[in-house]
Amino acid sequence: MEISARNLCFSYGDTDVLKNINLDFEKGKFYSILGPNGCGKTTLLDLFIRHLEPQSGIILLKNKNLSDFSRRDIAKNIALVSQDYSINFPFTVKEAVMMGRHPYISRFSNPCTEDTRIVEEVMEVTEIASFKNRKITELSGGERQRCVFARALCQDTPLLLLDEAFSSMDISHSLALLDIVKNEINTKDKIIISVFHDINFASLWSDYLIFMKNGKIAVSGKTADVMTEEILMDVFHVESKVEFNRYAEAKQVYFKTGPHKFDKLS
pLDDT at 87: 72
- Cα–Cα distance between 85 and 247 in angstroms, integer? 34
What pLDDT does residue 259 have?
A: 67
Q: Which backbone phi and psi does 158 adopt, to 5 degrees?
A: -70, -15
Sorted by where each starts, the structural domains of the chain and their CATH numbers stand as 3-265 (3.40.50.300)
Which pTM was predicted?
0.93
- The stretches in the chain having pLDDT less than 50 are 263-266
- Separation CA 98–CA 121 (nearest Å): 12
pLDDT in tens, 161-172: 999 998 888 999
Q: What is the dihedral of CA 95, 112, 121, 151, to 10 degrees?
A: -40
Distance of CA 75 to the CA centre of its chain: 15
Q: How many CA atoms lie within 13 A of 4 on its CB side?
A: 11
